[in-house]
Structure formats: C-alpha cells, structure tokens
Amino acid sequence: QKEVEQNSGPLSVPEGAIASLNCTYSDRGSQSFFWYRQYSGKSPELIMFIYSNGDKEDGRFTAQLNKASQYVSLLIRDSQPSDSATYLCAVGAGYSSASKIIFGSGTRLSIRP
Amino acid sequence: DTEVTQTPKHLVMGMTNKKSLKCEQHMGHRAMYWYKQKAKKPPELMFVYSYEKLSINESVPSRFSPECPNSSLLNLHLHALQPEDSALYLCASSRSTGSTGELFFGEGSRLTVL
C-alpha cells in the first residue's frame, strides 16, 4: 500500500516564528508533491506544489523536496494566527492526465498569539 | 470563492432513498474527482474521470454510482446507503496533461445517512 505519512500534531508555534511541517512517502515513483491547507469545516485548498528536488518559495511559504530521502516539507515563515489549520501533504504518481493523488493524514497547526 | 460548485451543501437521507450529488466547474478542466472525507481524516479518493471517461474507481461499493454527463459536470448517484457512509463528499477538478494533483476542490456536500 502506497503511503503518505505526516505527524498529526497539533503543532503549536508562536506568532511570527517559523512553522515546519514534514511528510514522508513510500512510493519511489512519485513525481508530484503538494501541500493543501484545510480550515475546520472547509474544503482543502492548494497552497504549494513541487516537482523537482530542492526548494520552492512562494511568499511566506517554502516547499522542500528530497526524493532520495522520500521527504517533503513545508516551511511557513512569520506565522500568523490565520495559518492555523490542518495541512495535508499529497503525493501524485506521475504526469498522467488523471493519476492517483494520495493524501497524508494531515498535521494540525496552531499559531498562538 | 471556489470555482467548483457542489450541490446540495447538506443532505440527509434514509437508507432506502435515492439521491444525487452534483458538481460543476467552468475552468475548462478535463479531470474530475470524487473524494470522501470523514471527520479528522484525509480525503479518500473514490473516482476519477478523465476526458469524461471513468479512469479510476477505487473499489467503491456499487451503492455509489458516478456519472460525467459532459466536461463541466460530475454527479454522484446514491442509493441504499449505510449510516457509515455519512461524510463530507468533495468534488475536485484539475487540468489534464502535466498538471496532475493540482486539485481545485468544491466546498463539499455534507451527507448524513439515517
């Protein structure tokens, strides 16, 4: 069974600090990696995607991918209370038009003022 | 506001009822998905349609029947459901080639089976 694993949390981070969220995956053939944010009672929202090893930055968010270690992470700089949500790591099998996207169980992040 | 619209937002049905969930997107996406999400759990993939053809069925019980009438619409027909089928049902879409996984979700349909 292909798996995506995350620490369920809750992860508590003070406002203004860096939040670091981690994810590991079991399928070495995985090609695409995503972070979704889900507020309580709402649907998931894509915030970052990364396809190549290394870092990708978008505003306060940085996604990091290490395919050799099968590890992907999300850094949130200058954390705000509005960042409090569940963050879902998702992994895709390839670039086909409709491949399987597998979600991790999510990490609940809480930013304390 | 999401560009994937799901109706109804809430649905309560008995185990003998037949109902349908509807999903619509106007982003020109050619892949559409149904996910099921229980409380405090991640979304679980149910079905994937690619270019209006069913391409993935994750061994979902036959009491769930998907339908893709055209490239913008996706339905999920429900019949003889069980209380354990109560969940949030999420529709999502994505562009086709080369953009797998960049899913755009609707707000979901919260289903309660009595």
- CA angle (B111 as vertex; A110, A102 as ends), nearest 5: 55
pLDDT recorded at residue B84: 96
Q: Which two tokens stand for residue A109?
A: 């992040």
Exposure string (b/e) for A40-68, b if CB count within 10 Å is 16 or more? eeebbbbbbbbeeeeeeeeeebbbbbebe
**Which residues of B are less than 8 Å from A98 in CB distance?**
31, 33, 48-50, 55-56, 94, 96, 100
**Which residues of A are less than 8 Å from B55 in CB distance?**
97-98
Asked whether the beta carbons of residue B105 and residue A102 sit closer than 8 angstroms, the reply is no
**Which residues of B are less than 8 Å from A42 in CB distance?**
107
Percent with pLDDT over 70 in chain A: 93
CA distances from A47 to A33, A36, B13 (A): 11, 6, 34
pLDDT recorded at residue A66: 96
- B86 band by pLDDT with thresholds 50, 70 and 90: very high
Mean pLDDT over residues A92-107, rounded? 74
Is the pLDDT at B49 greater than 50? The verdict is yes
Is the pLDDT at B98 greater than 50? The verdict is no
- Residue B17: partners with Cβ closer than 8 Å, 6 or more residues away: B78, B79, B81
Residues on B contacting A at a C-beta cutoff of 8 Å: 2, 30-31, 33, 41-45, 48-51, 55-56, 88, 90, 94, 96-98, 100-108
Asked whether the beta carbons of residue A34 and residue B50 sit closer than 8 angstroms, the reply is no
- Residue pLDDT, tens place only, A37-52: 999 989 999 999 999 9
pLDDT recorded at residue B55: 82
Residue appearing with tokens 């694993």: A5
- Least CB-CB distance to B50: which of A36, A97, A104? A97
Helix (H, G, I), strand (E, B) or coil at B106: coil
| B84 DSSP 8-state letter | G
pLDDT recorded at residue A97: 44
Is the pLDDT at B97 greater than 70? The verdict is no
Identify the sign of the CA torsion A83, A34, A103, B51. Answer: positive
Least-confidence region, from A38-42, B42-46, B52-56, B80-84: B52-56
Least-confidence region, from A57-66, A88-97, B29-38: A88-97
Asked whether the beta carbons of residue B31 and residue A98 sit closer than 8 angstroms, the reply is yes
